[in-house]
Structure formats: C-alpha cells, structure tokens
A and B are shown apart, each in its own frame.
Chain A
Amino acid sequence: MPALICISPKLEPCFLAKKVIPVKPREFWAFVSPSVVVMTVLMVLPLFTTIYLSFFNFNFGTTPKFIGLLNYTRILEDTRFWQALGFTLFYMVVSIPIQIALGFGLALLLNEISGLKRFFISIYLVPYIVTPVVGTLAVSWLFKDRGFITWLLSSIGINIQWYADVVAARGLLIGYGIWGAVPFVMLMLYAGLQAMPADPIEAAIMDGATWWQRVRFVMMPYLRPIFIFIAMVNIMDAYRLFDSVAVMTQGGPGNATATIMYYTYSIAFQEQLIGRASASVILAVFVIITLLYPFLRQTYIDIVGGKK
C-alpha cells in the first residue's frame, strides 16, 4: 500500500494518511480556499436550493408555495418513477458487468500483443472520443425504420422494431451504453496491467500457473482497487443515463426506457414542475448514495484497513 501524505494544519482531518506533513493554517487555507469556493458555489448551494425547492409547489413563471412533503409523496406514488428506477437499475445490473468483462478482456489482449498497440488503442477509444449526443444521434439513425442497420437486418429476413419493441429498445440502449463505456474500462485496466510488477507473474509462471490462473489469481487481485473504482464510476454514469434516452427513445415505447434522469427532466422541463423535479433529484441522490455505499466503504477499508 503506498503511503499517503497529508498536508494539514491539524492531524485530525488526516485520518486516512500514513504520513503527515504539518503546514501553517494560512498556507493550508490559501491552497484549499479556491476549491472550497468553487465547490460551494457549484455544488453545495445548488444542492441546498434543490432541497429547499423540493418542499414548494414551483413552476416556471409562478411564485413558490410551501407544500411540505407533498412533492415527495407525489413522486413516490407515481408509477413512472418506479418504472424509471426499475429500468435504471436493470440497465446498471446488465450493462456494467458486461462493460467490465469486455474492457478487461480487451486490456488483457492489448497487454499480450507486442505490435500495433497504438493503433488498437486509437480504434478502441473512438466511442469514448465521439461527443455523446453526436454519437447517439448517429447510432439512433442507424436503427430507425429507414436506418442502415434496420435495412441490413431486414435484407436477411430479420425485422426488429428497435423503437417499438420494449426488449429491442432496452437492448439498443444497453448495447450503446456498453459500446460507449468499454474504452474507459479498457484504458484504466490496461494502465493497471502496465504498472503491475513483473515479479508475481514470473513467480506464478515458475510455479506452473496457466494463463487463466495467472489472470484469475495474480492479475485480478492486483487490479482489485481499479475494478472497484471502475465499478463506482460506471454505476454513477449508468445512474445518470440521460442523453441516449432523450435522443433515441424519449423513454418509449410507453415508459419502458425512461431512466431516473429522464423522468426528472420530463417533470422539470416538459411538465414544468420544478419543485417536484427537485424532490425527484433528492430521492435520486439517496438511491445513488445507497448504491455506492458498499464501494465507498470498501475503498475506505482498503486505504485505512480494518474490519471488513
């Protein structure tokens, strides 16, 4: 475990650090105050405003009126909210393991080959480089009724209604999500593999370990913190899935592909219920904190040590 260095005027806040370099309070605040100001203005204030608005009936062009917890009640009573939450969780459960498995597979392949590495990395990074909305628009057109993929499939007798069939529409979004996220996973894990010391691998080879045993019992444990980090980032990304839904399916057919973010957007900007959308955001924050808690706890344990 690499030693963490803490630069702090006090020792108490540095509970994660292994080594503490005390600094003068004036220097400490000079360093951190820009971040504190930016975080306060861009994150803390909007969060408190959102919490405040969630207790009001507030639409565009009207005066906010206090209604207590009514917005929360309305959201929790709304079947569309539960459908959206259900699809969001389904999307996460299905897409994230595939993203990680594919990304890890590609990282291993890259790690094995000696030539053309740069070429393959460039190719793999294309989905990550393309602007999300542009990529989504292009892909959505490929799968429209008159789209190239739809035409190609229909020419061999496969007729799929990508935007009318629930399974197809969900599959399309999940497939597109996987396509977009795999490069990030691959890049992170490939970097991890590159940084891995050769000794444990060589020792495993000496002990007669097969390629799969080396991957399973040497590489994967070594990369565990990176896997956790990737899982956390991908959970957050999947949870705030919006652009592909807004561009491709608009939540349809019916409400089958609406996600929590799209649901919140619909309430805020289509139904113009800003107070209720604020309540939806707060509920969404609670859900994501709950989902991330095990990963955050594991990260804390990995760094500080202690009972798992």
Chain B
Amino acid sequence: MKKRIIGIGLTIGTLAITAALSMGSAQQTVAACNVKAPANPTIINVFGFRFPMMEYYFNAAEACSKGSLSVKTSFLQPAQYETQVNTALATGTSPYQILHVNPRLVTEWGSKGWLLPLNVFIAKYKKQYNLDDISDKLINNTTLNGRQYALPVNFNTQIQFYRKDVFAELDLKPAKTLEEFTTVLEALKKASKTKYPLAIALGGGALAGEFHSNYAALGGVWFDKNKKPAFNNANGVKAAQAIRDWLEFMPPAVLNYTNDDVMVGLQQGDIALSKIWLTRASAMEDEKVSRVVGKIDYAPAFKFGGNGLGANTAEGDALAIAASSKVDPDLAFRVVMEMLGKSNQLNAASLGMVSRDSIATNPTLVAKNRAWVAAASNARQAVPLRPAVPFQGIATTILGNELRAALANKTDLKAALDLAAKKTEDEMRVQGFIK
C-alpha cells in the first residue's frame, strides 16, 4: 500500500513538473503548415544560429512535421555553427537540409557549390507563395552570378540602441556623426549612469564586420583592381582607430563579446548605448529577461566620414538548401516557403523586420515597431556589403586575427593592417586566386 502511494505520488509529481516545463516553454503561435507529407518517412533538419525571430521561424518549420515528415531544428552560436556546417557540407552528404545563411555565407558556400540554386523552385512556386512580395534588395544579397541561393527571412542592420531615460536625464541626443558619437560617449562616461557607456560585439567575426562598416563608409575597398588587398591604407587605419577609441568606453572583455553578450548587457542595464542588429530589439521588451522594458529607444547608425554613409550594412538572414542533401529539394523548398508564409511573417514581425515588403512597410506595424524607423533610415545610408568573391573569407579571417591582436596588445594599427594585407596576399597566392 505504502509503495503504491509513493508510486502515485511520484507519477503525479512527474506529470506536474512536465506540465510546468511545457507551459514554461510554450511557443508562440505559428501558422498551420500546408506541406503534404511524402510517401516515405523523411527527416528534414533545419540548422541555424539563434535570435528571437529565427526561433519563431524554426518553430514554424517544426509545424510541418506530420505523418511521415519530421522536421527537426537546432541552433548553435554563429562561430560554432559555421564551423560545423563547413565540415558537414565539405563531406558531400550534408546531414542538414535547410540552412540559415547571410550574404557572406551565401558567397562562401554558394561559390563552392555547396548550396542549391533555387531559381527553378522560385519560378515554380512564385505565384503560389507570392514571392514577388519579398524585397528585391534582399534577394540581390542572396544571389551570386544570377543564381539565387537563399530566401531572405528578414531585413537586418546595425542600429543604435540607447537608454532613453539616461539620454533624457543627461540631455543627450543619439549621435548622427562619428564626432557626435564620441561626444555622447564622453558624456555617458562622465555621468556613469550605467556600468559601461557602450558595447558593440567585437568577438569572432564581428570585429572584421565592424571594421568593414567603418572602412566602407570612408569609401574603402578590400581589394584593388588586381585583386590585391587594399585595406592597409589611411582609411583602413582610421576605421580601425575608431574601434580602438571606443574600447575605453566598453567592457574590457568586449573583444570577445558576441551579440548575445551585448544584448544581455543592454537587458541588464549595464550598457547605455550600443550599435547592434535590429533583430535584438524585441528582446529588450521581453519582461522575463529584460530590466529595461520601455527604456530603450532606437536611432540609425551614425554617419562615418564625409560620404554620407552610415557605419552600417543593410542585409538580412536567409534560408538556403544544402546541395548535397538527400532529401527531395522540392519538399525542402516548400517547408522554407511555409516558414516564410505571410501569416508566419505577420507573427514574426513582432520580433523584427521581415522580408515581405507588404509587412515591412505596413504603416500600422511600422508605428508599433520603433526600431523599424531607424532601420529604414539605415537602409538608405548603408555601406556596400563585403565583396562577393571567394577569397573575401581569407581577408576577413586574417584581418580579424591581426586587428584583434593589435587592439588587445595595444600595438600599431598600421603595422597590423600591413601584416594582414601581406598575409592575405600570400594566402591568396598559395590558394591560386592571384599569381
């Protein structure tokens, strides 16, 4: 009798915990998936890096699991994600069917033939899924030599996030130029209202991205007409020096900070100002994790240099299909299209600016999402993306390594850029990109 009572108690306890956990992880509503399950059991693995909007889309993908079709999703941190996908795609039999990409990854993986060109499927399903509604500019970012390798899921850009209460108290306005940005930082540092005035993600590949935004705003190019590295010039030094100047206002470990670290710093009230991706805005208003609900406002990235360009890109995340996937690509494409259906994008709009023009420009939604206004301004002042050439990855990695070492060790920036340019050229020669 006693054993039975203990058994019943344990069962009830387990059920209660399970119910509590499932309530705790309740997912946002996603639209019903209209993909018909195939005749044979099929697994589609969807793989990406995490931020709130992408989590929503991945939930939408899982809604396609029915009958013989099982859609499984997983996330990793961006750097680890790239490493894992690189290795998986190189094997020639990708275990992942649907992959989260951005313009840089489209260039890198598309040029190696690892992504499936989607033009045939786009033509086939254009009308059914109203693909004309997806922004042309975003589509261009996922196209390489006429081949479209991915479908954009959002518009993303680096805007200023700032504490409006702190700014109001100090009578500060978000910076419109680099000089104003420096003035704001000094005022924030002097007032010490937050632990640090500023944080910008500079860990991993983010440092080279930040350098690119500054450098391209000054009109800098990565390679000259002979394909030789050209970033070790006065503009390159100016772009790098700006990052060095910002370091004194940022957390000491910022050279290792990911976007998640910056987001948490903002949410916890440690940071008064940041330049971070638009997709992080919704997390500021999440009462479960944010101490700054209603306290953050948004502004376009400041202009860097005299060319009228902001220290920001205008790009977006996208979904691609692995070329070596053994799953029917038509089926994988339809799952992607269901993820990006209008109903799902309407829901996802609460988490960022989606890729369908009809939603991204909807006046009611724009009025509700303060960050979108800043993002729209960013789109007009954005610098060009890094060149879509297969050797860009070499330059990005080497520059990132050398610049990080120079910033961490406080060594000469020009020498670091010269060394990076020399190493890049040597490497490009070894790999046969130049003679």
Contact = CB atoms under 8 A, between A and B. Distances in A.
Contacts of A252: 255-256, 404, 408
B83 A270 contact: yes
Contacts of B87: 60, 269
A57 B430 CA distance: 8
A61 B114 CA distance: 8
Nearest to B398: A271
A164 B252 contact: yes
A145 B83 contact: no
A253 B203 CA distance: 10
Given A57-B430, A60-B86, A253 B255 contact: yes
B409 A163 contact: no
Contact of A269 (B83, B252, B394, B431): B83
Query: How many A residues are at the interface, by size bracket?
Result: 20 to 34
Contacts of A146: 264, 268, 270
A269 B86 contact: yes
A253 B83 contact: no
B252 A57 contact: no
A294 to B, nearest CB: 34
Given A60-B86, A70-B430, A146-B264, A270 B253 contact: no
Interface in B265-279: 265, 268, 270
Nearest to A274: B90
A14 B94 CA distance: 48
Contacts of B82: 270
Contact of A60 (B89, B270, B409, B432): B89
B113 interface: yes
Contacts of A269: 83, 86-87
Nearest to B114: A61
A84 to B, nearest CB: 12
B86 A165 contact: no
Interface string A50-90: 00000001011110010100100010000010000000000
Nearest to B92: A61
Contacts of A165: 252
Contacts of A67: 430
A249 interface: yes
B389 interface: no
B184 to A, nearest CB: 22
Given A57-B431, A65-B432, A254 B89 contact: no
B408 A61 contact: no
Contacts of A255: 401, 405
Given A57-B430, A60-B90, A270-B79, A250 B253 contact: no
A271 B397 contact: yes
A80 B409 CA distance: 13
A163 B90 contact: no
B66 interface: no
B256 A253 contact: yes
A195 to B, nearest CB: 44
Contacts of A249: 256
B405 A254 contact: yes
- Interface residues of B, dominant DSSP: helix
Interface string A30-65: 000000000000000000000000000101111001
B308 interface: no
B430 A145 contact: no
B112 interface: yes
Interface string B397-412: 1000100110111000
A270 B112 CA distance: 16
Contacts of A62: 112, 431
Contact of A164 (B253, B393, B397, B401): B253
A161 B431 contact: no
A80 to B, nearest CB: 7
Contact of B112 (A61, A163, A256): A61
Contacts of B408: 252-254, 256
Nearest to A248: B256
Contacts of A162: 253
Given A60-B87, A65-B432, A269-B87, A254 B404 contact: yes
Interface in B120-175: none
Nearest to B405: A254
A255 B268 CA distance: 29
A165 B253 CA distance: 8
Contacts of A254: 255, 404-405, 407-409
Nearest to B400: A270
Contacts of A272: 86, 393
Nearest to B90: A60
A61 B90 contact: yes
Nearest to A80: B401
B253 A145 contact: yes
B17 to A, nearest CB: 22
B432 A164 contact: no
Interface string A230-273: 00000000000000000001101111100000000000011110
17 contacts: A57-B432, A59-B431, A60-B86, A65-B432, A145-B270, A164-B251, A250-B203, A250-B204, A253-B255, A253-B256, A254-B404, A254-B405, A254-B407, A254-B409, A269-B86, A271-B394, A271-B397
Given A145-B253, A163-B256, 18 more contacts: A57-B430, A60-B89, A61-B90, A61-B113, A62-B431, A74-B430, A145-B265, A161-B252, A163-B252, A163-B253, A249-B256, A250-B256, A252-B255, A254-B405, A254-B408, A255-B401, A269-B87, A270-B83
